[in-house]
Structure 1
Amino acid sequence: MKGYWAVILIMIVIQISFFWAGVKPACALADSRDCGRLYLLSNGAVAAAIGSAELWLRVRSRYHKQVVTGCGFVLSCLLYFIVEPFADGAQMAWIVPIVVPLVYFDRRLLLITGGMTSVSYAGVYLLLERPVFDKPLLEFLLVEAMIALFIFIANGVIIRAYEASMELEQLTKSEQSLLVERAISDRLLKIDALTELYNHKTFHEYLDSLLEQCEKNGLKLQLGLLDIDNFKQINDTYGHWIGDIVLKEVAARLRETIGLNDFAARYGGEEFAVIFTDKTLEESREMVEKLREAVERMEHPYAGDKPITVSIGLCEYERGDAKEMLFRKTDDALYEAKRTGKNKVVLCTGAYASLSSK
């Protein structure tokens, strides 16, 4: 709508310039004192049409395209009658309503508006241009051809824009599919398929990054190694598929127990690894003890309802220790838990005192 206001403002400026320069209208009514009033009325009608359309767009939420196009059609008619008495080529004003559907990329609106424009100009020629201005038939045909050509070009632009939009949509969908496939691929590379915990490789990558933070920024970190007690006996007695079920259930309890900033992985076979961050050693000990108790309380009707337990070794990283030293201490604590009766949590402090046992 701002474009319409700009057009009417320009036309008013041009008319005032013509009057100041003494340019007389070529119309038969040019000598009439009512000529000025006629143009004032025409400009007022244009302003009223634009104002009405502006009001509709602000108040109503429907038919915006139709209102803007209709306003353009009325504007083109009135501009034609304003310009025609002063200069040739006023027929170009009939192009205005055809431009609006092109802005909206609406083919149906373009064809309807184009047809109305062509018919309206034919009526103007037969009722005004031919009898009053004595315009030749060839000029009428040229203007109609120009309108038809503009409609044809605008229609081609809309079709091409639609095709480009479809191509862009297909490209976007393809890119989204690639992103999804890449995300799935990354997940498959990082996640253990059976337990849905992180795998051995991802665990070490994450641990290396955290150990750097420990050395640089003093991040607190504890490593826990968890091993299912007598797992080989479970496999030999009930079969490997029962063993897989046990692994899944222990992994589920592990996910439920750890915090958002912690990291759990299937380290290999029946062994799991957990990295605790931003916690004290006592807080981490309480979490692994909670995990041990949760596993012990699980029921296993598929395994003769015999209890399944875990042994856990827990160690806090100390600055200066390499990753290998951290694993060695934690593995020693796990071995101590296994050696001293299983189903317990052992810290790698001093003589590996058991903090919890059944």
Structure 2
Amino acid sequence: MNGYWMIVLCLLAAQYLFVLFSRSADSAVTLSPGKGHMFIACNVMIIVTMASAEIWLRRSCRYHKQAVVVCGFIVSYLMYFVLEPYVDGAQMTVMMPIMIALIYFDHRLLYSLGVFSTIFYAVIYFALERPLLGKPFLEFLLVECVYIIFGIMARAVIIRGRETREYLEQLTKSEQELMVERAISDKLLKMDALTGLYNHKSFHEYLDSLLEQCESNRLRLQLALFDIDNFKHINDTYGHWVGDLVLKEVAAKVNSMIGLNDFAARYGGEEFAVIFTDKNVHDAYAVAEHIRAGIAAMAHPYAGGKPITVSIGFCHYQLGDGKEALFRKTDDALYTAKRSGKNTVVVSGVAHGDDPLISYA
């Protein structure tokens, strides 16, 4: 519609300049009483048609395409009646509705408007142009040929446009599939294939980043190392496939009991690691103890029905300690837990049997 408004405004401006500056006899009678009524009526109808279509498009959510097509068809023929007495080749304005099909890339609309415009102009020629203006038949044939050629060219443009659109859609789909595959690949590189937890490499990358946040922004962080008790005995007694099932179930239990801001990884073999963030030491310890009790309560019928437990070493990060000291403290706490009867949580710096919550208070 914006394009049509520009064309209409240009038409009105051209008419104004023509009447204002032309010295021809035609311009002298354009607005004279009794002879200029057709000229004025067509311009008024053009404005009314454009305004009506604009109101419809703004107030209604239906039939937008039909409104544009009908408006364009009416305006183009009114423009033809305005220009025909003064401009050679005014028949080209009748091609304007066909151009709408190019905007919508609509084959059916192109065929409909093309056939209708061709027939409608034939009616105008034999009813008006030939008897009133004496235009030769050859001019009629040339104009009709132009309509047909333009329709063929418009069809080629639509076909090419659709091919380009399909190509872009396929390209976009391929890029999306590639992004999904890349995301899956990145995830597989970060995840442990057996347990579904993050792997050893991803754990260290994440821990390094968090330790930087601890030092710069005083982020609270605790590290817990889990070790499945008597795991070698499970493998030797029931087979490695049972051992794999135990690893999967323990990993699933750990992952289901940590918070959204916590990070769980398979550290290696039967060892797991959990990084607690945005928690005070009491809450983080409580989660570690809750995980230990939850694992001990799990049923393992394929492993003789005996409970499978974990020993946990727990350490709260102190500013300035660094990664090496954090691991040494946590590993020492885990070693103490293994030597102290297993199935327990030992906090670094707290003797076994003491209350870690009291010790940290």
TM-score (norm 2): 0.92
| Aligned residues: CA RMSD | 2.2
* Structure 2: distance between partners of 1:329 and 1:33: 106
Are residue 25 (structure 1) and residue 26 (structure 2) matched? yes
Contact 1:344 1:355 in 2 (8 A): no
**Corresponding residue for residue 155 of structure 2:** 155
* Structure 2: distance between partners of 1:306 and 1:354: 28
SS in 2 for 1:132: helix
Shift of 1:134: 1.6
**Corresponding residue for residue 16 of structure 1:** 16
Equivalent residue letter for 1:288? A
Aligned pairs for 1:105-144 within 5 A: 105-144=105-144
**Corresponding residue for residue 190 of structure 2:** 190
Contact 1:203 1:265 in 2 (8 A): yes
Shift of 1:31: 10
* Structure 2: distance between partners of 1:193 and 1:124: 78
Contact 2:30 2:36 in 1 (8 A): no
SS in 2 for 1:35: coil
Equivalent residue letter for 2:2? K
**Corresponding residue for residue 290 of structure 2:** 290
1:43-102 CA-to-partner distances (Å, cap 9, x unmatched) read: 222233323333433444333222211221111111111111122121121121111111
Contact 1:24 1:86 in 2 (8 A): no
Q: Can you give the 5+ residue segments of structure 1 that lack an aligned partner in the other structure? A: none
Contact 2:30 2:39 in 1 (8 A): no
1:150-194 CA-to-partner distances (Å, cap 9, x unmatched) read: 212211111111001000000011001111111111111111111
Equivalent residue letter for 2:104? Y
* Structure 1: distance between partners of 2:17 and 2:218: 80
* Structure 2: distance between partners of 1:226 and 1:211: 20
Q: Count residues with an aligned counterpart.
A: 355
Equivalent residue letter for 1:333? A
**Corresponding residue for residue 203 of structure 2:** 203
**Corresponding residue for residue 231 of structure 1:** 231
Structure 2 vs 1, CA of residues 355 and 231 (structure 1 numbering), >3 Å: closer, same or farther? Answer: farther
* Structure 1: distance between partners of 2:229 and 2:152: 81
Q: Can you give the 5+ residue segments of structure 2 that lack an aligned partner in the other structure? A: 357-361
Contact 1:345 1:354 in 2 (8 A): no
- The share of aligned pairs that are identical, in percent, is 57
Equivalent residue letter for 2:3? G
TM-score (norm 1): 0.92
Equivalent residue letter for 1:189? L
Equivalent residue letter for 1:305? G
Contact 2:31 2:37 in 1 (8 A): no
1:192-240 CA-to-partner distances (Å, cap 9, x unmatched) read: 1111100011101111111222222222211110011111111222222
**Corresponding residue for residue 307 of structure 1:** 307
Contact 1:311 1:338 in 2 (8 A): yes
* Structure 1: distance between partners of 2:307 and 2:293: 11
* Structure 2: distance between partners of 1:221 and 1:197: 19
Shift of 1:310: 0.8
Moved >6 Å (runs of 4+): 29-32
